[in-house]
Chains A and B, each alone.
Chain A
């Protein structure tokens, strides 16, 4: 089976499985929404202008609900034993990585697309521009690229899901920082070119860690 065929097959498998039960997606979305609302109450009375904290709130909500999604994706594989099935199939380990990673990316991105209009309504901001979506996409990609490898590791530890945030968040910090900075500068009305440094940073991060993940994923899933 060719590489990309295998990747698409894995992505479709995950999407189809999810469409049947919708539990990963619904819990991710509800959790993201709850995070946004809780943060709203946490800051509302002390912050003069909610626009100041909106980028942080968005990215934290994405990080937390994304972690939830990453966890559940691999836990299901392990519980049902389907990971062993994937490993036995004559596909490149890297195909499994890309399939899982892109599947995760699709889920998280869909959650974000649905979350954004709600954030817009709650905070009275304009967020559905292509610049915002690009920033969100780049950050989410970094999240999925690194998170997929770490969640494959985390499900095999004693602490299971709890391990993933501990492993993931320190490594992910540049992406979160860059995301908040870029979203903030866009909300402040600046053009995307002003945040060019941050874009470069996230791009380097995304490309670099995709390469590292491609090289090391095999070690993580082998028995």
Chain B
């Protein structure tokens, strides 16, 4: 029986504090961007939420793929539970990134949405992992479900960079954060806020995935107990 470990509680507390710090920095602490209209100056602050969310969704799906490979290699259920927990979080962060992006886009580009390659890839990624969960819900046998979703997660994640590659060969209006010619496009005060934000979101993801994984394991144990009792 897995009790919530001390370590996880401490980690959760640290994550909570860090998120609060980032929120303060993002909304007030970080310096204003230079050379934008007033609306856009406020909107620019979304970078502290939007980019970490996007990064985390990619990380979460990568973790899902690694855990899926782990499951196929070992056939141990915990790997599958971890893969599923991470995929769930990935889905949430993808949605968060897309929604925050749209909120930023309205003042900046004057449209809520555009079929820019990066956004398109994002939508596809979202669909890939919705399909992952649809596959899981359409199967009853746990072992088979785990195997099939593991195989699918591998295909799905590997297709993302290839879809991403299309960006190179399309014109894009999405701001490029890391331009090899100009370096990072952020001022020094903003850099600190940005990296703190990135770190706290990553910690948030780790905490959330561990909690979710723990929940999933408990749920499986309950199911096993139920079966043993004859429900």
A209 CB to nearest chain B CB (Å):
7
Interface size class of B (residues with CB under 8 A): 20 to 34
Residues of B within 8 A of A197 (CB): 168-169
Q: Are B151 and A153 in contact, CB atoms less than 8 angstroms apart? A: yes
**How many A-B contacts if CB must be within 8 Å?**
80
Chain B nearest Cβ from A178, distance in angstroms: 8
* Contact A149 B151, beta carbon cutoff 8 Å: yes
Residue of B nearest to A158 (CB): B138
Query: Which residue from B72, B148, B163 sits with its C-beta under 8 Å from A156?
Result: B148
Interface residue B155 (Cβ < 8 Å from any Cβ of A): yes
CB-based contact B148/A174 at 8 Å: no
Interface 9-residue window, one of B31-39, B128-136, B181-189, B215-223: B128-136
Which of A163, A170, A201, A205 makes the CB contact (< 8 A) with B127? A170
- Interface presence of A114 (CB below 8 A): no
Contact yes or no, A174 B162, CB < 8 A: yes
Nearest chain B CB to A183's CB is how many angstroms away? Answer: 16
Within 8 A of B (CB), among A166-223: 166-167, 170-171, 173-174, 177-178, 197-198, 201, 204-205, 208-209, 212, 216, 219-220, 222
**A157 proximal to B (CB < 8 A):** yes
Interface size class of chain A, counting residues whose CB lies under 8 Å from the partner chain? 20 to 34
Interface residue? A159 (CB, 8 A): yes
The reply to whether A220 and B162 form a contact with Cβ atoms under 8 Å apart is: no
Distance, CA A173 to CA B140, complexed state (A): 29
Q: How far is the CA of A212 from the CA of B162 in the complex (A)?
A: 14
- 20 of the cross-chain contacts (CB-CB < 8 Å) are A150-B152, A153-B135, A156-B148, A159-B138, A163-B135, A167-B135, A170-B124, A170-B127, A170-B159, A171-B155, A173-B124, A173-B163, A174-B162, A178-B166, A197-B169, A201-B166, A205-B162, A208-B158, A209-B158, A212-B154
Beyond the given A167-B152, A201-B169, please list 8 additional residue pairs across the A-B interface where CB-CB is below 8 A: A153-B148, A158-B139, A159-B134, A167-B131, A173-B163, A177-B166, A212-B155, A222-B147
Residues of A within 8 A of B (CB): 146, 149-150, 153, 156-159, 163, 166-167, 170-171, 173-174, 177-178, 197-198, 201, 204-205, 208-209, 212, 216, 219-220, 222
